[in-house]
Amino acid sequence: MKNLFVLCVCFFCSITVAGTAVPDLKIEKLEEGVFVHTSFEEVNGWGIVTKHGLVVLVNTDAYLIDTPFTATDTEKLVDWFVGRGYKIKGTISSHFHSDSTGGIEWLNSQSIPTYASELTNELLRKSGKAQAKYSFSGVSYWLVKNKIEVFYPGPGHTQDNLVVWLPESKILFGGCFVKPHGLGNLDDANLEAWPKSAKVLMSKYGKAKLVVSSHSKKGDASLLKHTWEQALKGLKESKKISSPSN
């Protein structure tokens, strides 16, 4: 089992060369009490895609911020922490796509509490996917009081995309909302709302010490401004495409 996990010293690029073998799940200690889990999946049209999530430790309890792509990797991730004496107390999925929710069904089968917004659960239901056991509404929700805050900046990558704030360490998990180097998959995006939502995020978490996104390298709060710039660019390009030719 131990050979299945390698402690990373850096993040990988969001997309690796197509045709290469899918790497194993990786776990990196980000700082005391915060780990990054990185899973990989071959996605049609994108090659092998890298997805980051977090595991936050509160004493001997562990909380998963997004699941890996698959149930198999979710089980490996849980086993890694359980094997080190931690109890998985809950998981939160930042949006309804499989790179955030792929392990929900397995987690539910293990009676591990799963959380998502009401909108995420509704989108999962419409997609025929397993839903989180617990849901919440509103702009802000404390998964763990004063330690893990879930925040909804508004639509962007999807209608339901959330971010997660760790106030003690000033780490922001931006999920798939934070896209500093290109907006990526736009199948469910709201390009009209994304720039405004990005402004909301900049205003609320502009002093973040570290920002972790789903598919990019970690960085400082400048990733939020870059996301806003990318969102503006994407909106302008979409308007050009939709405008009738002269």
97 is catalytic: yes
**Catalytic annotation on 95?**
yes
99 is catalytic: yes
Q: Which of 95, 160, 161, 215 is flagged as catalytic?
A: 95
- Cβ–Cβ < 8 Å for 175, 94: yes
Q: Cβ distance 155 to 161 under 8 Å?
A: yes
Tell me which of 66, 99, 161, 215 is the catalytic residue: 99
Instruction: Quickly count: other Cβ atoms within 10 Å of residue 122's Cβ.
Output: 16
Single out the catalytic residue among 37, 97, 215, 226: 97
Establish whether 215 is a catalytic residue.
no
Q: For residue 76, with 0-12 CB atoms within 10 Å meaning exposed, 13-18 middle and 19 or more buried, which class applies? A: buried
Q: C-alpha distances in angstroms, 194 versus 7, 174, 207, 208? A: 34, 13, 20, 20
Q: Which member of 157, 160, 161, 190 is catalytic? A: 157
In angstroms, the CA 52 to CA 219 distance is 13
Active site residue 187: no
Which residue type occupies 4?
L
- Bridge partners of 38, per DSSP, are 26, 52
CA distance 237 to 5: 41
Choose the catalytic residue: 79, 181, 185, 188: 185
Supply the residues annotated as catalytic.
Answer: 95, 97, 99, 157, 185
